[in-house]
Homo-oligomer: A and B are copies of this chain.
Amino acid sequence: MTCKTWAFEDFVEGGSIDLGTKDVTAKEIVEFAGEFDPQPMHLDEAAGKASILGGLSASGWHTCAIFMRLICDAFLLDSTSQGAPGVDRIKWKKPVLAGDRLNGKTTVLAKRESKSRPSIGLVTMRSELFNQRGEAVFELENTVMFLKRGAAA
């Protein structure tokens, strides 16, 4: 028996889940980029301003990681998630700049039961992040596996 709030049955096609808010700091941008994506526009304000991104901007992979933390805290950690085999599509629509405040939402596009594993259901989601001006900066679609309520893990 699971005691998690979110099992397969709790996702509603067409429904949306608020992902909350994240302030993105220059320090975080530079730390992530220094380890994983040391391109100049992610490391240095002047290089960012000189680039098409227009300022010190987060690595696209940093934005993915920020999205993951938001979805973890919003519902994934309190769910019966069994993980995802991959991602169908990511769009980095606008730069994420130092000082931006991001908020997000996840919309359930479709759900279906697994044919091969009766304890599992598959939920296809579109997740979006927006900046403080309401501009969409990030979009991701993927399919996550969740145990049905009461299924043994």
Contact = CB atoms under 8 A, between A and B. Distances in A.
Interface of A is mostly: mixed
B60 A61 contact: no
A109 interface: no
Interface string A54-76: 00000111001110110010001
Contacts of A89: 86-89
A84 interface: yes
A69 B35 contact: yes
A64 B53 CA distance: 21
Given A36-B65, A36-B66, A36-B68, A92 B86 contact: yes
A37 B65 contact: yes
Contact of A68 (B53, B61, B77, B82): B61
B84 A60 contact: yes
Interface string A80-120: 01111111111111000000000000000000000000000
A92 B88 contact: no
Interface in A9-41: 32, 35-39
A35 B60 CA distance: 16
A77 B36 CA distance: 12
